[in-house]
Each structure stands twice: as structure tokens, then as C-alpha cells.
Structure 1
């Protein structure tokens, strides 16, 4: 066989294979291009999206040493479960002192009540004495009038008249003294009534202090505010913590999960609240999660930053802004159980849906 003829057939075979491969690649590119154009025309997509959950700090409301820690890293807890117990011995001493002070204030009310009864009885006695003194004064006045007439007729001596006059003056003084004593008894009763008001106010103040200490004692036991999952354990038994100090972070399972998708401002015209979306995560490739739009941010993400951009300097460069879109996951909790806050996601929605 002629070598040149064999080489020609080989070249033709290679050319034919190359043409078929090129045709397949061209068809693949055409299909990919058509699909991309179809998706671009009918769907809006972004890969600038993350799974989100409420992650709240668990803080201490009192200062003290940690007595016990009842949670571990990444432990699931139920609402009301005890997380941390702070030593409350100092607060128990303060409670006992406050209870004693409250008892003293209440006992003072009893003393004032007894004083009121005594003062009222003294007033009654003074009233009776005033009655007797008034009768005596009337009698002395009558004797004085009679002796004054007898003196005019010289039927009695001057000394006898002066004795009667002195007895009248003594009766008047006794009567006035008893009236003043009665008024003093009434004033003392009023004073005791005023002291009662002060004592009652002191009881309320002492009760408030006791309630405050009891509240602090209740704060010494830190419980889970809702169902959730604990983060990293950052405290140990015997550690001194301050009021307001963060003890741990807790993921709120009751509020559920959602997605924050940052769409370009040029994509917003096809979006509305209640629109269904498909979500795919890097953690579960090929698995589609479902959701719906619940809100569109009132401003672009950059406007909510600590230092929002100010383009008034003159060197303005136009950059397409992104608007955060909140998407609620509509799948059941068993389906979304594996999702974690911070995971990356790709969100796709159909235009006009």
C-alpha cells in the first residue's frame, strides 16, 4: 500500500473526528448559551446570599462568682433550662438584713398604734377632768358672787372675801390647764398619725429593697429564654463575672431561619412581597429549598453601614448598589434542620411570579 495514501486516509479521519468534536462543542455552547439567555430573561439570580438566624447573647444581670455551668458547647436547650448558677451568698445575707429592717419598721407601726391608744385614753381622762374642773369653777364663781355682795354689806370680812377670790382664781387656772392638756393630747394623737404615715412609707421602702434583693437572687440562676442551641462555652466554675457581661451566645430556634439575599438594584423591578423563590446552598449542592419574600429593605446595604458613602466630594464613581431582601424559608423544620447561620446560598426567583 502506498504510504502517502495511508497518510491521506489518516488525515481525513482526524479531520472528520475534529469536525465532529467541534460540532458537539458548538452544540453544547449553543445549548448552554440558549439556556443562559432563557434563565437571564425569565429568572433573577444572586449568589450574594446567606442563611441567617437570631443569635442573641446570654448576659448576667448580677455580679458574682460562677457556682455551676450546666451547658456545653453547641448543646441544644429548651426554654427554662438552667444554664448558669451564680453564687448568691452575699445576696442571701442582704436579704436577711432587709427582712430584719422590714420587721423593725412594721414593729414601729405597732408601737405608734399603742401610743395612739394611750393618747386617746389620756384625752378622755382630760375631758372628764375638764368637766369636774368646770363644775368646781361654776361653784367658785357662785361663791365669789355671793361673798362679793356680803362684802358690800360688811357681812363678811375682807380676808374671807379674798380667800374666796383666790379659790376662784385657782379653779380658773385648773380649768385652763386641763383644757391645754386636752389640746396637747389631741395634738399628740395628730403627731402619732403623721408618724404612722412616715412609718408606712418606710415599710414600703424596706419592702421595695427586699423585693430588689429577691429579684437579684432570682437573677443568680440564668435560664434559657427560649428553645435554641448554645454556642461556644466561654466561662468556667469559680470565674468572677460582672453585671451585663456576656456569658454565651444562643441561637434562637423558635424564630426559625431565613435568607438575606443582596440583589442588585437593577433586579428589583421584578420582585414583590410574597414572591416564591428557590434556594440552593453550597453545603447541600443539588438540594433545592423553598421560600418566599417577606420584605425588601428600605435602603441599600451601604446606607446602613457604620460609615455610609458620601459622593459629595466630586470624584464620583457609579457603582451598582445591592438591596437586602429577606426571604422566609417555607420548608418544614426537618428539611431546614441542617442549615446554619452564615452559610452561603444562591437564590433564584422567576420574573413575574
Structure 2
């Protein structure tokens, strides 16, 4: 039976297309293999030159100092001069308390200081008077002794009566007793003033300290901002009765912020102090980049310092990857251009190319974390006010 023309043609087509299909499949496999090899090479290069030289995390948040403003003396609030979101400068009055009680106490302390100065002046004069009386008693004793000496030879010659000599002896004894009493009185008077002038007398010093305390308490009725910053958490209202230590508001210095980046424990192998870091804040997106550096690693994981630390030695145990906070200091210039707020989310990338630095600080820091100088002149002003009262009550000619 002979094959039909159609069957013959199909067999020719199949035999002709088979080599072409094999070549196409081989070319496709080769291309796929090249793509995978190229992707592997690219990944290897990225790992060697990019991913292995940095550590990244998005578990990072902006941190900063939160300066609590609290009352130092009790009182009634009569004025509030700053509110949430407002900027305040160091030394600016934030809250003012009713000054009535403090002014009364200050006036009493001023009067007591003036009275103390005058009393010490009086004691000084009494001591001088006692010294003068002591000199007079010495003269009386010498006079009585001289009289006795003149009469004793006359008694042997019976030129004077024995009673007159006895009177002379009694006069010497009386003068000696008067001298002893005057000496004691002079010693007692000098005990209050010896070794110091009026200004340095212990009684004046005590009254001066009481005045200084009252003066400072009166100044503390005006509660001032210790640093520059922005007000938050204002809770004080006019008419509130506040007590020492009661928090009234918070001032946050937004020019001095940092980032606490919580890296996994496996990422800390090459993290060192001083390594450069780049920070991106979610509030600005990837278009704004902050420059910083690692200034320290936390002393423990977050769970170790939690209120109820995990007790992994009890019950069933499941390993949980721990995180350690790494503090990143930010460039103040970047913060001035693009301000941040405490608690904002960020993404941190640390360059770990140079991992020869320290993991822990080798020396204690001598730089204060934060400081204020708004209270530096308070003591000097209090002393100046006390000096004015002392000078006004010294009198003319008193050193």
C-alpha cells in the first residue's frame, strides 16, 4: 500500500523542524544560565563591596533630652508664660508664683540681718567698755597696793594706827576682787566678738545665711527655662497650688538630638564606636539624609532592662533574636536644616568598613551631657543684697 502525498509531506516537515527546535531550546537554556551566572556575579560583587560593608536597620527612633520644669518652692500659680509647641530661651520666665509669702519672709530675714549687725556692734562696744573698766580696776589695785606699802613702815614706827594698815590691806583685797570680776566680764564680752569683725561674726553669718535663703526662695517664685528649647506636656494652670518637685511642663532642646538604632545581636559583630552612619527619617523620606557617627553601644538588650525581664530558664523556651541599642550622634547642621522630633522613626545605615575601633569606651567622658548657667549668678546677687544690708547697719567709722 503506497503512502499518500500528505503523509510524505508531514514527515518531511517534522524531520526539518526538529533540529531547529533543539537549537532554540539550547539557546534559551544558555541564555538562562548566563542570566543566573550574571546575577550571581552581581550579587557576589554587591555583597563584597556593599552589603558586607554596612549594617542597616529600620528599628531606630529619634531620642533627646526632656528637661522637666518643676517648682522649687510652694505657691499659687499667678501666671503661665509658655505653652506647648512654643520656643523658649534659657532664663525666660515660664511660670510665676504668688510672691506675697516669699516677700514677707524676705523682709523678716532682712530685718533679722540688720538687727544681728547692730547687736554685734553693741557687743563690740561692750567689749571695749569692759576692757576700759579692766584698766581702771588695775589702777585701783595699784593705788591700794601703794597705799599699803607706804603704811607698813610707819606701822613699825608706830606712826599709824594698826586699824589704818588693816584698812589698807582690805582695800588691796577689795581692789583685787574688783579686778578679777572686771577681767571675767571683759573675757565674757570679748568671747562674742574676738577673732572676727562685724561682718564675719557668727551671729551675723547665720542671719546672713537665713537672708540668702529667703532671697533665693523669693527669686524662685519665677520659674525659668534652664535651656533653649520647645515646650511640651504643659500641665500647669493659673490658680494651681504647686509643691516643690511637682512637674509643670517639659522643655525639649531639638537642636541636640540623637538616634537610638536597635540592631540585631548578629549585626553587632563589626559595629564600633566612631563609625560613620547615615540616617533617613520617615518624616522627610529618602530625599533627606542625616550624617552621624556611632558614639556608643547599649550596656544590655532591651529585654534585660524591661520592667519584667524574661525568665528563659523556666517552662518551654523559644529563642528570640535580641536587639541592642546603638546610639548615633547627628550633625547639628543637618538638624538645623531639617528639624526632627523625639520619637520619630528612622532608618540607619552604619559603615562598618573600618572595624578596628573600640566596642566600649576606654576612658570616662569629661564633657557634661547637658548643663545650664541660668542659676550661676543667683548666689552672687543674694550675697550682694546681704552686703548692702550689712553696710547700711555698720554705722560710720566701723570697719
TM-score range, shorter chain: 0.7 to 0.9
Unaligned runs of 5+ in 2: 1-34, 355-399
How far did 1:57 drift? 0.6
Rounded Cα–Cα distance in structure 1 between residues aligned with 2:132 and 2:324: 84
Residue equivalent to 1:211: 212
Residue equivalent to 1:74: 85
4+ residue stretches of structure 1 with deviation over 6 A? 34-37
Rounded Cα–Cα distance in structure 2 between residues aligned with 1:329 and 1:105: 57
Residue equivalent to 1:174: 171
**SS of match in other structure, 1:348:** strand
* Matched ranges for 1:1-353 at <5 A: 38=47, 41=52, 43-147=54-158, 164-196=161-193, 200-254=201-255, 256-287=256-287, 288-313=289-314, 315-330=316-331, 332-333=333-334, 337-352=338-353
Rounded Cα–Cα distance in structure 1 between residues aligned with 2:121 and 2:285: 78
**SS of match in other structure, 1:318:** coil
More helix by share: 1
Distance 1:241 1:129, change over 3 A: same
Contact 1:289 1:331 in 2 (8 A): no
Distance 1:115 1:298, change over 3 A: same
CA-to-aligned-CA distance 1:189-234 (integer Å, 9 cap, x gap): 1001123369932221111111011111121111111111111332
Rounded Cα–Cα distance in structure 1 between residues aligned with 2:278 and 2:254: 22
Unaligned runs of 5+ in 1: 1-26, 151-162
Distance 1:266 1:274, change over 3 A: same
**SS of match in other structure, 2:304:** helix
How far did 1:314 drift? 5.9
Rounded Cα–Cα distance in structure 2 between residues aligned with 1:328 and 1:137: 96
Rounded Cα–Cα distance in structure 1 between residues aligned with 2:156 and 2:315: 116
**SS of match in other structure, 1:260:** strand
How far did 1:350 drift? 4.2
How far did 1:82 drift? 1.4
Structure with higher RCO (Cα < 8 A, 6+ apart): 1
RMSD: 2.8
How far did 1:35 drift? 6.8
Rounded Cα–Cα distance in structure 1 between residues aligned with 2:107 and 2:332: 54
Rounded Cα–Cα distance in structure 1 between residues aligned with 2:60 and 2:337: 16
Rounded Cα–Cα distance in structure 2 between residues aligned with 1:347 and 1:334: 16
**TM-score, scaled to structure 1:** 0.80
Rounded Cα–Cα distance in structure 2 between residues aligned with 1:338 and 1:203: 54
Rounded Cα–Cα distance in structure 1 between residues aligned with 2:80 and 2:43: 57
CA-to-aligned-CA distance 1:104-148 (integer Å, 9 cap, x gap): 22111122222222222222222222222122212321222112x
Instruction: After superposing the two structures, state which structure 1 stretch, 277-286 or 332-341, moved more.
Output: 332-341
**TM-score, scaled to structure 2:** 0.71
Larger radius of gyration: 1
**SS of match in other structure, 1:102:** helix
**SS of match in other structure, 2:299:** coil
Rounded Cα–Cα distance in structure 2 between residues aligned with 1:61 and 1:97: 21
How far did 1:80 drift? 1.6
